[in-house]
Amino acid sequence: MNDKIGIAVVGAGYWGPNLVRNAQATPALRMEYLCDLNEARARQVIGDYSTVRVSTSLDDVLADPAVQAVAIATPASTHVDIALAALAAGKHVLVEKPLASTFADGAKVVQAAEDAGLVLMLDHTYCYTPAVQHLRELVRGGDLGELQYLDSVRINLGLVQSDVDVIWDLAPHDLSIFDAVLPDDVSPVAVAARGSDPLGCGQVCVAHLTIELSNGAIGHVHVNWLSPTKVRTTIVGGSRRTAVWDDLNPTQRLAVYDRSVETHDPSTLGIDVRNQTRVSYRIGDMVAPALPEKEALRSMMTEFAAAITEGRPALTDGRSGLRVLAMLEAAGESLRSNGVSVPVQVQA
């Protein structure tokens, strides 16, 4: 018990109970508190027979030396203040997306964590699914060849938010996946975004983002609150193979196609075909890798504990959260500027 990391979850609303459940099931963690202003709601989450304490005071939770880490599952507008308070109290921090409402505020949190030598991690849950983990290995290991494009669709009949548009609500998932799978030498350069508000509700409900990458490739993200069908797909195209992730297909979440389009130097072609084609199509097999069925949140909690124990950055560390914020801010500026391409802010 003494070797376990004491953790408090702040927020007992929509996402907090999921964090509580997975923290309790992670051997390296010990749930100490569930903190929420609504004590009755927090007690309902914990149950009558739990040893986890309930508190309505964040200050009391942060003052308890039994708590070494804090997981934040509160409204996005409160993330910065709670994270800074937790870091100032010497606690490692896990925060659900987004890290902050602005790049500047996110940078303050990242800097505070680095100055204190504490782990700051983003709950970019999809990055911990077995499919995305395998996709990361394929891209970064070179199995797909040179990266040519990324295309992601995240649409459903969703709840129209009053405080954020569809880009800030849904696109962080796709942008964090892009950030996780991209090779170290490829980074977003600029973002162009177009969106519409067909309901007249004051928030963009349908949007398309185009992300220009440093190697000349592009990424595309389509997010939509108004679709009667739910789609969760990501396609990563390479010069050798293409990988397709369908999160809603439990029998074949990931498929790798050994198919590609190859270009030819016109000078090497015969006179008869030179003017007919400069490309050829290679059609090979499709392989569906066997992937374990594991809850992504459990893997995420395990990574949080490991990062603390080993004194290293987590896969989705504060810097990754800042990179996602930079793309979101560029998308927002582009949206306000009628879709012009906006440079992505580079981290210091």
Q: Regarding predicted confidence, which is higher, 71 or 76? A: 71
Query: Do residues 328 and 168 make contact, with C-beta atoms less than 8 angstroms apart?
Result: yes
Helix axes 39-46, 16-24, angle to 10 degrees: 40
Rounded to 5 degrees, what are φ and ψ at 102?
-140, 160
CATH topology classification for 5-124: Rossmann fold (3.40.50)
336 Rama sector, left if φ>0, alpha if ψ -120 to 50, beta otherwise: alpha
* Sign of the torsion angle spanned by Cα atoms 101, 104, 107, 111: negative
Distance CA 30, CA 52 (A): 9
Confidence of residue 213 (pLDDT cuts 50, 70, 90): very high
> Bigger pLDDT: 269 or 62?
62
Higher pLDDT, 284 or 247: 247
Helix (H, G, I), strand (E, B) or coil at 209: strand
Query: Would you give the distance in Å from CA 222 to the centre of its chain?
Result: 15
Specify burial of residue 227 (Cβ count, 10 A radius: 0-12, 13-18, 19+). middle
With a pLDDT cut of 70, the percent of the chain lying above it is 92
Find the farthest-apart pair of alpha carbons in the chain and give their distance in angstroms, rounded.
Answer: 82
Residue 282 clears pLDDT 70, i.e. is over it = no
pLDDT band at 259 (very low <50, low <70, confident <90, very high): confident
Number of helices (H), then strands (E), in the chain: 10, 15
pLDDT at 3: 87
Does residue 98 have a cis bond before it (omega within 30 degrees)?
yes
List strand residue ranges (DSSP E) for 42-142, in order: 53-55, 69-72, 92-96, 120-123
Look-up of token digits 């010990």: 30
- What is the DSSP code string of 253-307? SEEEEEEEEEE--GGGS-HHHHTT-SEEEEEEEEE--------HHHHHHHHHHHH
Provide the pLDDT for residue 36.
Answer: 95
Q: Say if residue 26's pLDDT is above 70.
A: yes
Question: Which two structure tokens, joined as six digits, stand for 186?
Answer: 């490829």
Mean pLDDT value across the chain: 92
Rounded CA-CA distance 97/324 in Å is 9
Residue among 133, 109, 82, 79 nearest 253 (CA): 133
Cβ(160)–Cβ(203) below 8 Å? yes
Please report which confidence band the pLDDT of residue 239 belongs to, taking 50, 70 and 90 as the band edges: very high
Rg (CA), the chain: 22
CATH no. of 127-295+326-343? 3.30.360.10
Distance CA 189, CA 225 (A): 27
Predicted confidence (pLDDT) at residue 68 exceeds the cutoff of 80: yes
Give, to the nearest 10 degrees, the angle between helix 103-116 and helix 79-88: 10
**Sign of the dihedral defined by the CA atoms of residues 326, 327, 331, 334, in that order:** positive
Model pLDDT, residue 109: 97
Evaluate whether 302 touches 315 at the Cβ level (below 8 Å). Answer: no
Domain ranges of the chain: 5-124, 127-295+326-343
Full-model pTM: 0.89
Element (H, E) at 42: helix 39-46
Residue 315 in this model has a pLDDT that exceeds 60:
yes
Question: Residue 163 has what pLDDT?
Answer: 79
Distance of alpha carbon 174 from alpha carbon 222, whole angstroms: 9
pLDDT tens digits along 324-341: 999 999 999 999 999 999
Does residue 160 come out as left (phi exceeding 0), alpha (psi in the -120 to 50 range) or beta? beta
158 pLDDT band, cuts 50/70/90, is confident
